[in-house]
Amino acid sequence: MLTIKTKIWHVDKDVDGQNPIIVEIGDRLRRGEVIAFPTETVYGLGANAFDSDAVRKIFEAKGRPSDNPLIVHIAALEQLDELVTHVDEKSRLLMERFWPGPLTILFPRKGKISELVTSLPTVAIRMPDHPIALAIIKAAQIPIAAPSANRSGKPSPTKAEHVWQDLKGKIDGIVDGGSTGYGVESTVIDLSGDRPVVLRPGGITLEQLQAVIGEVEIDPALLQKEDRPKAPGMKYAHYAPDAEMWLIQGEEEKVIQEINRIAKEKLDEGKKVGILTTKEHKDQFQQAAHKVLAYGRRDDLAPLAQNIYDALRQFDQEKIDFILTESFPETGIGLAIMNRLKKAAGGNILKV
Ligand code: TXA
Ligand code: MG
């Protein structure tokens, strides 16, 4: 693939839609360029959802498997008309309550969307809650297909510099709007079956969804009881740091002991060891590893979600080759955090 010049624009969060930079970025997207921009979850890599040549560039830049469909981003409800054939009652309730925000809903699709965005009968749509993202989509006057702006398989980007690390020379531009908010991606929900199913836990929690539409299930594939998923597809690592990573689950005291024990064993083997932990536990790992990162607090998981991908990337930057992490209760935003940690660990889970 040819190297292209990747432009960088610095844009303030309180930017207005008339701003010449926003107008220019909207024009570029409409004309088929591929540009990364911040959303309230993670940075997205945007392209015109009606333009197959533009969408193809997303897959090439990311090295993304072509059968993995993209989320289409809109800035106004009227845009749904040209994208979907039908909006059911529960979807309507969810949109009223959570849009703009980190909830992606699957709808029956209309034909105009590029086959490369989705070749399924459904299209995933969300309205991001970020002033820059909304201004750009409005200026572009088209729906924007956008996956997370990372190399496929790597941790998602929560800062413009993460996008730069992964995609410089491969995309037309990056809009730097500072750090994103939630730090984990949107929740993806499928309402096409008998019962609503969460396909990916994210910024909007299961409990929040249930409060609005009643019963909601989690995709059984996400709740593997075995330590290692049996289906080959589920083994595919996502959000993965370069290092081998292990997630230790169990009672807090035992988890701390076990992390210390394994860390020592790996240090003795000559490995460069990293520990991903919390402010509450950090002191108990002094001397145990080359890098101990406390990326939040156990008693307040939202900031932890914000920092999770940045923490994984820091280990990569420091060439850590073995990471140990504690685990969290799978309620509230903890469900999304644990899903990402399990994936990052590629199914390496140790129960103590
Ligand atoms: O927060 C987010 O959702 C971010 C920001 C940029 O909006 N985007 C994001 O996109 O995380 P991506 O491509 O990294 O993840 C989209 C997920 C994938 O797991 C994909 O398989 C799923 O949504 N998806 C997309 N369309 C789908 C469809 N029609 N049916 C089932 N799953 C779908
Ligand atoms: Mg992604």
The pLDDT tens digits of the residues spanning 36-69 come to: 999 999 999 999 999 999 999 999 999 998 889 9
Confidence tier at 222 by pLDDT (50, 70, 90)? confident
Predicted confidence at residue 226, as pLDDT, reads 47
Counting atoms of ligand 1 from 1, which one is nearest the CA of 109?
A: 29
Q: Is 153 exposed, middle or buried (0-12, 13-18, 19+ CB in 10 A)?
A: middle
Predicted confidence at residue 50, as pLDDT, reads 98
Cβ of 38 closer than 6 Å to ligand 1, yes or no, is no
Segment 158-177 shows an average pLDDT of 98
Taking all residues of the chain, what is their mean pLDDT, rounded to a whole number?
94
Confidence tier at 232 by pLDDT (50, 70, 90)? very low
Radius of gyration of the chain (CA): 20
Predicted confidence at residue 1, as pLDDT, reads 64
Cβ of 106 closer than 6 Å to ligand 1, yes or no, is yes
Q: Tell me: pLDDT of 286 over 90.
A: no
The CATH fold assigned to 244-351 is: Rossmann fold (3.40.50)
Counting atoms of ligand 1 from 1, which one is nearest the CA of 102?
A: 1
Confidence tier at 231 by pLDDT (50, 70, 90)? very low
The pLDDT tens digits of the residues spanning 81-115 come to: 999 999 999 999 999 999 999 999 999 999 899 99
Cβ of 68 closer than 6 Å to ligand 1, yes or no, is yes
Q: Tell me: pLDDT of 163 over 80.
A: yes
Q: Assign domain 7-223 to a CATH class.
A: alpha beta
Q: Do domains 7-223 and 244-351 have the same CATH topology?
A: no
Counting atoms of ligand 1 from 1, which one is nearest the CA of 149?
A: 6
Q: What is the DSSP letter of 148?
A: B
Provide the residue ranges of all domains of the chain, joining segments of one domain with +: 7-223, 244-351
